[in-house]
Amino acid sequence: MLFFRSEEHVDRWCESWRLPRGAVIPLDKGWELARAWYGEDRRLPDWRRRTLDETEALFASLGFTSEFWNLR
């Protein structure tokens, strides 16, 4: 996941790499995602990765509901 100055720069990068445009989110939404994803303490013995259902629920809670965020 890369950082870009603006939408125009995203489009230019996608064109130069011949990749379709993916999902673009503002920094504050990225911060919400980072807090939700990494907020747990991975040192704890009972920490585990989220299941698919849990990850989908997390994405949905942030409004990431398009096909791009589909995990199946």
Partner 1 sequence: MNNDEIDRRVRAEVYDVTMRSGMPPPAARIGDALQLAPDDVRASLQRLADARMLVLQRDSGEILMANPFSAVPTPFSVNAVGLSTYGNCIWDALGIPAMLQCDAEIDTSCADCGTAAHISVRGGNVIGEGLMHFAIPARLWWKDVVFN
Residues lying near partner 1 in the complex (CB under 8 A) are found at: 1-7, 9-10, 12-14, 16-17, 19, 21-31, 33-35, 37-39, 41-45, 47, 49, 59, 67-72
Residue 48 to residue 50: CA distance in whole angstroms: 6
Shortest distance, position 66 Cβ to partner 1, whole Å? 10
Q: Choose between 44 and 53: whose C-beta lies nearer to partner 1.
A: 44
Shortest distance, position 57 Cβ to partner 1, whole Å? 13
Reading the block at residue 41, the tokens are 């303490």
End-to-end CA distance of the chain: 20
Reading the block at residue 33, the tokens are 């995602």
